Structure 1
Amino acid sequence: MKTQSFGYNAGYTLGCSSLLASLVYFFASNWGSLDRWQKFAPIMILLAALYGLSVYLAGRPGRQFLSRLSLFSCCITFGVALLVIGQTYNSHADSYALYAVWCAASIVFALQVNWQPFTVLAYILGTLAYWLYFFPNTGFVDYEDVEAIGILSLLAFINGLLYYLVRTNRLRGAFLAATAFTVLNGIVILLSNSFAYEDYAQIFNVAAVVLFAVWVRLFIREANQPYLLGTGLFVSVYLIMKYIELLLHFEAGESFFILSLLFAGLFIWGSAKWIQYVKSLVPPDDADGGEDQKESGKALRHWIVRVLTITAIFVGTVIGAVSLIGFLILIFDLEEPLNVLNGAGLFLTIAMTAARKLNPVIRYSLLSIGLCIGVGSALFDEFTLLLLVYLVVCALMFTFATGLAERSMFFAAAVTIAGLWLFMLLDDTVQVLLLLTCVMPVISWLHRFVPVGTFRSAMRWCGYYSFLTLFLLLTFASQRYEYDLLYFIVLLACIVGAHRLGERAAYRVTFGFWTLFVFWKYYDTAWKLLHKSWSLALIGCLLLLVTYWLERKFRNAPEERLSDIRPRVRSFWMAAVVVACLMLLSVQIGRSETILARGETVYLELLPLDPRSLLQGDYVQLRYTVSEPFGRDWTDNTPEESGKVSVVLARSPSGVYQFKQLYDKSYALQPGEVVLNGKWRSWRTIEYGIEHFFVPEGTGMDVERTAKYAEVKVASNGDALVARLLPNLP
């Protein structure tokens, strides 16, 4: 019953997500057929209706999830309304204030309804608001190292605090904890980069080592394998970055490469021991849980070990291959060292192919080093015969390996080497991909003649998944409609076939390829925003109708009693939040309408650009002549470029308003003068809050060519809105 309920909830969620995405795309297309009130009224009615729907569903048995989903959609709609108002009145695109207000509403919703999606939404919006506050998309802010470090360190601290709050059960959400953990470690690694922050990198190098040590100790004590995996991945990234820094900072001599080889060897050996240790850990929950929980834990540990193994092999290969190449070149002091590299690569490859009893991590790391050195030198020397040798080695390793993961790795290596060899012969990427695409189904089909076992399974699925991947690459390389249509048909046939055969993994992966193909190749590159809006609306409606029909037909009885779900969302506070959201939107609309109706008309000369907002659609970014009021006349007596500022603009004989002076309260405005509020940006630039003008999708370049002036409405308090762009003064 839980699985059935999960399926229905997933259907409703996907349907609502499609409809909300349709709403965002519709307004992002900036459809010119609607006036301001035709945009505002429906979206505010929708916001209120979604809250009413959540209250109604909260009073019905078995509808707790849908009640929360409706309330979550209400919160999303509030954000869309903010976006639409900003777009309509040409407020800042992707302004930090917009996301901050939306985040505040999400936090209030999260406090009233204890549901993780609200927390996740609040986290995403809060992070966007924080980032855009310090790094706005208008202009370029050049921070000193200390300032940039402070900004990033504060963000790391906030994420560390969030992770602590989730760990201590003061906040809920596994996703929030994992994301905060990832951001915290990523920022610490970034700050330890000696090229970006040379004077302070050593401090953060120490901080990174201490942080990783704390994580390892903490997660070993808890037997927390997922976070041990995450820590291992971050340590791997950190080690590669440090190796590259050392390689570029210091003279790469013999001693350096010898130490690098020793480090690579120790890393590979230590990784092998570490993986054995992680495999031996059994979380307390698994030891005390039931059979299902034990099986789930076992499967999770299996995948964790795989990822750790691949990560260790990758890091060891990168460091070991570079170190060995440098060592051999310096030791032999040859002008043409390719023969030595070919010999070393071939020796390592053959030796590790034969050493079947060696620890898998050590063996595969050394084998990967040999393949990288050998294949790279053979390509550089155009030695096609040697490439065939490495291809045979990979084929043998695929045949005699024991695990599916190892076989998959060597199959991928064999396909890559075969592609390189064919490219050296044909010098045509499309032909190479076409040949390999045709070969993969044959390999998959040949599994029928192999005895049952992991080798049979590896042939079938490696060939099948490689076929899907190579065919997808072929559609991009060829840019031919025939390949696109054929791939689309083949994918649908594979999806139907996998479903009929009951192959759940193949069905999911193939459906993923189909989704990637449709959305990446066509939906994101060919279709306009309005087309996406209508198609998503259709998909959303179909999903909701089909889910509702299936639920009515097959669901036996509600899973929740009416008394269990009655009323958190019907509380007075929840209604107050929704009313406050509507009032906030109304105030913003009223304020902007007042400026447009009563503000003084000012014409400013501009220079437009043409980017796209994250959620609001296309706009032209405006740079005014009054944005740099002092130009080259900057002197020591000019005020500091920070904080808020007001300027006096005076009408010139041509009708264009120009900068006259900075404004203070003691100045008396003259006829033909207005005060315009702004704030300082870097490079002696003032930002007035009128730097964006939203346009229908695809029209930005036309505006860029024709617009020369902006008609701006300025209120008596100095606030302003862009009314329209003009090719000439009226």
Structure 2
Amino acid sequence: MKSPVQLGYTLGTSLLLSAAAYFYASNWGALSRGEKLAPLLAAIILMYALSEFFARRPGRAFLSRLSLLAGCLFFGVGVALVGQMYNSHADSYTLFAVWLIPALLLAVITRWPPFSVLSFILAHLAYLLYFFPGFRSSAISEWRIVSVLLAAAAVNLVILFLAERRLVASPAIKALSFITAFGLMLYASNSFFLESLGVWVNLPLFLLLAFAAPYYYRTRQKSFLLLSGLFISILAIVKYTELLIHFLDESFILWSLIFVVLFIWGNVRFLNLVRSSPSAAAEDNPNSDAVSAHNAFTMWASRILAAAAIAIATVLGTAVIIGFLVLILEIDHPEYAMCALGAIATIGAIAAGKLNGVVRYTFLTCGMVVGMSSGIILDSFPVLLFFLLTAVGAFVFIPGTVQRIYCLVAGAVMGWVVLDWMLDGDLPVFSALGAVLLILLLAAWLLIKQPGVRWPLLYGGYPSFLLVFYILTFITEGTAYYLMNGLFFLTVTAAVLLSLRRSLTWVYVISLIFWTAFLVYKYYDLAWKLLHKSFSLALAGLILLGLTRLYERRLGDSTELSALCTNRRRTTVWLLAAVTLLQLGFLSAQTARSEWHLAHGQTIKLELAPVDPRSMLQGDYVILSYEVSRPEWDEAQWNRLESKGKAALVLAPDGAGVYRLERLYEEGSSLQEGEVLIRGKWDGYRGFDFGIEHYFIPEGTGIDLVNQVRYAEVKLSSKGDAILVRLTNG
């Protein structure tokens, strides 16, 4: 099956799955618990059956694996559904840990990368939520936070090492392990959150990147060299920001100025060294193809390193310039000096054709940032227009594809600022900017033949145009809102399919990102009822699947398609069947347990605490707060509670039958007659979380519910686990 066919089936299936989710949401209040769960169990069985069906047909290996993936996703939805359906108290990490089991088994059985990626993500979510429930760590010691994060980072570095040794075959897992290790160590090194221990994490973080960049350069791994350059830029900017906030004074600005100069000089020397270093193949055979490959890679690597250096130097240089004017020279109105310095820097960078690239573009970017900032502060149209024209001039007079893409994107940002000054309202501003970008794209595609101008306009203009188009789908109103959203979705869908068919990889990747963003986030924002969204997504999915099938039939039974036929071994069939039964068994057992809980639990009444409806209403459920969630205790009680994390409260009924807080439960102690136990977690922000804070309701009824209810009926097990039954007004 060729890539366009795989993509078509994947996108069509995604639309149908989204339609099912919206249908569930729209009918939530009308469906019984059995009606909610039964279709999900049937869907898991159906996905396994489809997987077996496709596995026995030529050219359907991809659809067979895709069916298994859909079944695994249905299981994850089912795990969350059981928790929502019964409003039961459960640790967040257990949901991901349970979901991880079939995902990991399927990854081992099928050896298909999406299952490995899903397992990787679920494992990290389960691990982090185990130590930081809800990702809130305010009541956890710094030592524990740092040790937990560094342990996870160390595991990821081990995975990365094994991948380098080809013991882990998935390129996606290799990339994710590198990104995750850096992200965890960067967070652990943050001196704002971890004041005493965070600073010590900087050393291993610096060592990691100091080793990674030259290693990936030697081994010619472009993607990881790019990541290393990006991470070095992020690290330098984050650490400079930390130092700036902690030590901002005149001496710091002077040292920063010296550092920026030395940083730029060091990068220029380093890039010259990289470009001049010959490869081993070049020394053995100066005319070999290996020399050309080495030169191409060296040019690519130097661009990445130069971009990272420019990004760092721009941020640091801009901060130093502003700090120098304000703190050192103590100028009362630095915006005029900023305007002059920005003009000198930009014009000088455009004119200095022989200046080193890192120095030139650092001056150009600093000048644009400082100059445009001064124009905004002064609210001066001539100043804003001048710096917009400098971006246009840089595009015209500075050759090079990457350089002109940069100038075009900078010009688009400055154009937005200028149009915002000229026009009143976001809609006319972004409409005008989108029109200009569209004209540039059409001109580059249809009229301009010079590669040095055409490709920078396409590479830089297309993502800029889609971003502006996407913004317009939020700010239009009335009928135009729906027309704009529909037009955007059709545009990016057509771009995804056509770009893949014509092998325009860069268009395909950009379009797919915006297509996913629209489906995941934007579509929910539409004012239609959820049921209407469900039908429209289902229709779009069926149309896309039909078009994909027609396109596939035009391909015919090629050798490539026939070669993809797969006949599973009997062992694999039984293993997949066992995984399916495991998923069905867990969901059934959880449902049976919760139903037993409802039938045999003790019913109590809790008073709801006052909640602002604007923060209470979220989509199709409300967030509840209880009168017993935030006890009025002395400082000693709070200190004991902070150290526990998880805790249990003892409740007893008042004269009206409403259960009130008696005391904090001590393990092993006995309850008095009439007292009950309720278990929860203390998060230090909302108070106690009993797992019954979310109540799902019919669409659009949240405000009415807030105004009517005062109490909640709750079922308690003998161990103190709670299930929310219903809300009442008396």
User: What TM-score do the two structures reach when normalised by structure 1?
Assistant: 0.84
Counterpart in 2 of 1:405?
402
Counterpart in 2 of 1:193?
190
Is the contact between residue 87 and residue 723 of structure 2 (CA under 8 Å) also seen in structure 1? yes
Is the contact between residue 26 and residue 529 of structure 1 (CA under 8 Å) also seen in structure 2? yes
Measure how far apart 1:324 and its partner are.
2.6
Query: Any residues of structure 2 matched to 1:436-475 within 5 Å, and which?
Result: 436-440=433-437, 452-456=450-454, 458=456, 469-470=467-468, 473=471
Counterpart in 2 of 1:40?
37
Is the contact between residue 469 and residue 488 of structure 2 (CA under 8 Å) also seen in structure 1? no
Deviating more after overlay: 442-451 vs 582-591: 442-451
Counterpart in 1 of 2:260?
264
Measure how far apart 1:556 and its partner are.
1.5
Query: Any residues of structure 2 matched to 1:29-178 within 5 Å, and which?
Result: 29=26, 31-92=28-89, 95-137=92-134, 142-178=139-175
- What are the superposed Cα offsets for residues 95-124 of structure 1, whole Å, 9 maximum, x if unpaired? 221111011221122222211111111122
Is the contact between residue 57 and residue 566 of structure 2 (CA under 8 Å) also seen in structure 1? no
- What are the superposed Cα offsets for residues 254-298 of structure 1, whole Å, 9 maximum, x if unpaired? x4333322322333333345556666799999999xx99999999
Measure how far apart 1:640 and its partner are.
8.2
Measure how far apart 1:470 and its partner are.
4.7
- What are the superposed Cα offsets for residues 521-544 of structure 1, whole Å, 9 maximum, x if unpaired? 554343444433333333333333
Counterpart in 2 of 1:590?
592
Measure how far apart 1:503 and its partner are.
9.8
Measure how far apart 1:593 and its partner are.
1.0
Counterpart in 1 of 2:576?
574
Query: Any residues of structure 2 matched to 1:513-592 within 5 Å, and which?
Result: 522-557=523-558, 559=561, 565-567=567-569, 570-592=572-594
Equivalent position amino acid for 2:373 in 1: G
- What are the superposed Cα offsets for residues 44-85 of structure 1, whole Å, 9 maximum, x if unpaired? 122123223323333334332222222222212222221222
Equivalent position amino acid for 1:124 in 2: I
Measure how far apart 1:198 and its partner are.
2.0
Is the contact between residue 350 and residue 397 of structure 2 (CA under 8 Å) also seen in structure 1? no
Is the contact between residue 28 and residue 618 of structure 1 (CA under 8 Å) also seen in structure 2? yes
Query: Any residues of structure 2 matched to 1:227-242 within 5 Å, and which?
Result: 227-242=224-239
1 CA distance for matches of 2:709 and 2:159? Answer: 47
Deviating more after overlay: 585-594 vs 410-419: 410-419
- What are the superposed Cα offsets for residues 652-678 of structure 1, whole Å, 9 maximum, x if unpaired? 3312233445376673763x4444445
Deviating more after overlay: 563-572 vs 532-541: 563-572
Is the contact between residue 25 and residue 530 of structure 1 (CA under 8 Å) also seen in structure 2? yes
Alpha carbons of 1:207 and 1:605: their partners in 2 closer, same or farther (altered >3 Å)?
same
1:226 maps to which of 220, 223, 228: 223
| Structure 1 unmatched ranges of 5 or more | none
Query: Any residues of structure 2 matched to 1:191-340 within 5 Å, and which?
Result: 191-253=188-250, 255-275=251-271, 306-329=303-326, 332-340=329-337
Counterpart in 2 of 1:695?
697
- What are the superposed Cα offsets for residues 219-240 of structure 1, whole Å, 9 maximum, x if unpaired? 2332222212211111111111
Deviating more after overlay: 696-705 vs 443-452: 443-452
SS of match in other structure, 1:32 = helix
Measure how far apart 1:697 and its partner are.
3.5
Matched, 1:706 2:703: no
Alpha carbons of 1:575 and 1:243: their partners in 2 closer, same or farther (altered >3 Å)?
same
- What are the superposed Cα offsets for residues 124-164 of structure 1, whole Å, 9 maximum, x if unpaired? 22222233333334998522322322332233233323333
Matched, 1:25 2:22: yes
Equivalent position amino acid for 2:100 in 1: C
Measure how far apart 1:356 and its partner are.
0.4
Deviating more after overlay: 54-63 vs 684-693: 684-693
Is the contact between residue 679 and residue 686 of structure 1 (CA under 8 Å) also seen in structure 2? yes
SS of match in other structure, 1:566 = coil
2 CA distance for matches of 1:296 and 1:533? Answer: 51
Is the contact between residue 8 and residue 547 of structure 1 (CA under 8 Å) also seen in structure 2? yes
Counterpart in 2 of 1:600?
602
Is the contact between residue 91 and residue 692 of structure 1 (CA under 8 Å) also seen in structure 2? no
Alpha carbons of 1:477 and 1:308: their partners in 2 closer, same or farther (altered >3 Å)?
farther
2 CA distance for matches of 1:459 and 1:150? Answer: 48
Measure how far apart 1:337 and its partner are.
4.2
Equivalent position amino acid for 1:270 in 2: G
Alpha carbons of 1:327 and 1:21: their partners in 2 closer, same or farther (altered >3 Å)?
same
Counterpart in 1 of 2:670?
667
SS of match in other structure, 1:565 = coil
Alpha carbons of 1:63 and 1:133: their partners in 2 closer, same or farther (altered >3 Å)?
same
Counterpart in 2 of 1:376?
373
1 CA distance for matches of 2:564 and 2:184? Answer: 47
Alpha carbons of 1:150 and 1:313: their partners in 2 closer, same or farther (altered >3 Å)?
same
Measure how far apart 1:635 and its partner are.
5.0
Measure how far apart 1:693 and its partner are.
2.6
Measure how far apart 1:242 and its partner are.
2.0
SS of match in other structure, 2:660 = strand
2 CA distance for matches of 1:225 and 1:23? Answer: 40
2 CA distance for matches of 1:573 and 1:536? Answer: 34
| Structure 2 unmatched ranges of 5 or more | none
Is the contact between residue 444 and residue 461 of structure 1 (CA under 8 Å) also seen in structure 2? no
Is the contact between residue 617 and residue 694 of structure 1 (CA under 8 Å) also seen in structure 2? no
SS of match in other structure, 1:625 = coil
How many residue pairs were aligned? 719
Aligned-pair identity in percent equals 37
1 CA distance for matches of 2:715 and 2:490? Answer: 55
Is the contact between residue 338 and residue 371 of structure 2 (CA under 8 Å) also seen in structure 1? yes
2 CA distance for matches of 1:285 and 1:83? Answer: 56
Is the contact between residue 608 and residue 621 of structure 1 (CA under 8 Å) also seen in structure 2? no
Is the contact between residue 19 and residue 533 of structure 2 (CA under 8 Å) also seen in structure 1? yes
Counterpart in 2 of 1:656?
658
Is the contact between residue 62 and residue 562 of structure 1 (CA under 8 Å) also seen in structure 2? yes
1 CA distance for matches of 2:268 and 2:339? Answer: 27
Measure how far apart 1:35 and its partner are.
0.9
User: What TM-score do the two structures reach when normalised by structure 2?
Assistant: 0.84
1 CA distance for matches of 2:417 and 2:216? Answer: 43
Is the contact between residue 492 and residue 514 of structure 2 (CA under 8 Å) also seen in structure 1? no
Is the contact between residue 404 and residue 456 of structure 2 (CA under 8 Å) also seen in structure 1? yes
Is the contact between residue 436 and residue 470 of structure 1 (CA under 8 Å) also seen in structure 2? yes
1 CA distance for matches of 2:645 and 2:437? Answer: 63
Alpha carbons of 1:516 and 1:480: their partners in 2 closer, same or farther (altered >3 Å)?
farther
1 CA distance for matches of 2:126 and 2:682? Answer: 19
2 CA distance for matches of 1:417 and 1:719? Answer: 57
Alpha carbons of 1:524 and 1:227: their partners in 2 closer, same or farther (altered >3 Å)?
same
2 CA distance for matches of 1:250 and 1:633? Answer: 35
Measure how far apart 1:384 and its partner are.
4.1
Is the contact between residue 260 and residue 316 of structure 2 (CA under 8 Å) also seen in structure 1? yes
Equivalent position amino acid for 1:268 in 2: I
Alpha carbons of 1:40 and 1:519: their partners in 2 closer, same or farther (altered >3 Å)?
closer
SS of match in other structure, 2:111 = coil
Measure how far apart 1:363 and its partner are.
0.9
2 CA distance for matches of 1:590 and 1:318? Answer: 58
